[in-house]
Chains A and B, each alone.
Chain A
Amino acid sequence: MVKPIDNIKKKRAEAVNRIIGKGYLSTKRVYVGMATCEIAAGSKEIMQIFEEAVRKGLTDVYLSQKGCAGRCNLEPTVEVIEEGKIPVKYGKVDPERAREIIERHLKKGEIIEEWVIK
């Protein structure tokens, strides 16, 4: 009989493979906060803007949602993680900021300091 612990390790390996298959190793990972509080602040629309950008050909980006990290007064939040770099968390992301983040940060690699949560 396979032991549960071996079973779960196999599942983990498979899960990691699936995640990588979805593009996890892209240079940039983008997480949009999607908890009740974030959604109330408007994050659904923000998510759609990022999804649309990916559909329209934005490459090298792994897009995902995440739960609440606790920054209620700064929501919606969007986090951009690049391997080996400090994760960048943007606060109060409205549609306009979302588009700017796509244009400037995701496409050109510019961190838009003024919207970064410190």
Chain B
Amino acid sequence: MAEKYKRDDVVAARVITLCDGPGCMHKGSKELLSALKDGFREKGLSYRDVKVNLSGCLGMCARGPVMIVNPGYTIYGNVGKADLEEILEEHIIKGKPVARLVIEENHLYNKFFRVFGDVGFFGKQMRIALRNCGIIDPESIDDYLALRGYEALARVLSSMSPEEVVEEVKRSGLRGRGGAGFPTGLKWDFTRKAAGEKKYVICNADEGDPGAFMDRSAIEGDPHTVLEGIIIGGYAVGASRGIIYIRAEYPLAIRRLEKAIKDAREHGIIGENILGSDFSFDVEIKLGAGAFVCGEETALIHSIEGSRGMPRPRPPFPSVSGLFGEPTLINNVETWANIPVIIMDGADWFSSVGTEKSKGTKVFAVAGKVRNTGLVEVPMGTTLREIIFDIGGGIPEDKKFKAVQTGGPSGGCLPEEYLDTPIDYESLARAGSIMGSGGMIVIDEDSCMVGIARFFLEFTQNESCGKCTPCREGTKRMLEILTRITEGRGMEGDIEKLERLGKTIKKASLCGLGQSAPNPVLSTIKNFREEYEEHIKEKKCRSGECRNLLEYYITEDCVGCTACKKVCPAGAVTGSPRERHAIDIEKCIKCGQCLAACKFNAVKTA
């Protein structure tokens, strides 16, 4: 299977994508697959000319088995063995779709496969939040309108009461994509029912996790979808103002949002009496200065109000007392982007995608040691292995997989035995990490797990706002310990100290930043304890990343060219020309210059 995705050399003009979700399997897609083989033999077709993909559940179970055929990206339903021969003969060989088998298309899938369906990278993806990203011109409201943009809003305004909208979102099972996974419909319900003179809707586009760019891409690629979600949310909870809080470091996203708001206003989609209804709503943009803690909802609200971006204890939750003390609905960019689809395709369809408790899809920014770095959107329930190896193409240079980090600075590192964990809020938490907002960093054997933990802790320590002591002082102490471990000054008992500190900080901190800051450390201790022990006891780093733990030496391959001696800033290299040189470890400052200078591969580390 994985092999198929690595075959980068053929473009298949003809592709058969067969649904092998449970529904279609039940209805015979397995038999179809073997019948396909026979059919290929009979017609003299080869898998080189016609690519055959298995798609995973396409969500059209009622009309299964479902098959999508290129060219034309035609969707066939209720395909029986007897129909195969006709599809192969008429469609694959002669290029003419078999009209009688074509089923009504779901516009999402149709578009998705049209553009992406033939590519392994997209084969296991399913795009709901990013459905228009990379397809339309994000600066053209016409492009968005042409793809049924703002139709969900119009439908809501024409024929749904606010309560019905809330109900639909509740039934969809959508949960917040900003990290915590709180049921979105419930939050809408609280805000709708809260008493207040004015209500506000906020879009959280602070996106502070290092390496995360899901929200930025969503806005840059399709700003109107986010806007449409926000306006629908405003209608549902009874708000008249929406605010998009976005970090100033995202100038292009900001510009596109500004243009989208302006265009929508000109079309009467934002402002007074939207689309001729009696609902009025306005949206504005507030810029954040890029502090991680300002992504936390109460800190974010303070920041909009003009105060310092510091969190406060909850309750009261923003849905009851938020911006300027009024009921406030705050959701993440990706959460908002799902809303128009839920309205257009219905809560039933939406909740047919995903797992029992996590519905729909999730966007991930896949980075680190993986062949295809990039943005992916997969149905909940997809396994980590599928994302990393099938979509991500595996680890470059065939290095060994070591761990995957999810959830950024609030998350954890999962080793190989967790690769088959399905992506959903509960499963990831059970495995010892979190879903988070969608950062995913793949780590191979060349990386030091202590170093990774230190990296994330350094980040949160820097970003700690200082309001509460456990987070302010605790993360500092943890960072000190981690630093000395990576520098070869670790002491007996350090691991236990880290664990104790970590648990205390988690329990005692005021907001989510502190409550989750120790996670990267605790999860690496849990899963890679032996690496910590090596650092402390043997002063060894197996990955070679902790430079201070390395010892440089010169092998017999040395020809005495003196290159290393010349570059050494510490005068640690000794030896006469044309004789083997040596390094004095006492003097060596481990800068690595000798290694870089050697042309004979004679400088080594241990």
Q: Which residues of A contact B (CB under 8 A)?
A: 1-5, 7-9, 11-12, 14-16, 18-19, 31, 33, 35-37, 39, 64-73, 79, 81, 84-89, 111, 113, 116-118
Contacts and interface: CB of A to CB of B under 8 A. Distances in A.
Contacts of A71: 121, 372, 374
A113 B11 CA distance: 8
A60 to B, nearest CB: 19
* In the A-B complex, the 4 residue pairs with the closest CB atoms: A67-B221, A69-B134, A70-B375, A4-B275
B13 A4 contact: no
Contacts of B268: 7
Nearest to B70: A86
9 contacts: A4-B153, A12-B145, A14-B145, A37-B217, A66-B134, A67-B132, A68-B221, A70-B376, A86-B118
B135 interface: yes
Interface of B: 7-13, 70-72, 114-116, 118-121, 130, 132-143, 145-146, 148-151, 153-155, 157-159, 213, 216-217, 220-222, 250, 252-253, 267-268, 274-277, 371-376
B473 to A, nearest CB: 37
A73 B70 contact: no
Contact of A5 (B8, B159, B376): B159
B220 A12 contact: no
Nearest to B141: A15
B276 A3 contact: yes
Contact of B145 (A15, A69, A117): A15
Contacts of B136: 66-67
B374 A72 contact: yes
A68 B127 CA distance: 13
A94 to B, nearest CB: 19
A35 B148 CA distance: 23
A4 B276 contact: yes
B146 A67 contact: no
A36 to B, nearest CB: 5
Given A3-B158, A73-B374, A117-B119, A67 B7 contact: no
Contact of A19 (B70, B143, B221, B267): B143
A35 B252 contact: yes
A113 to B, nearest CB: 7
B158 A72 contact: no
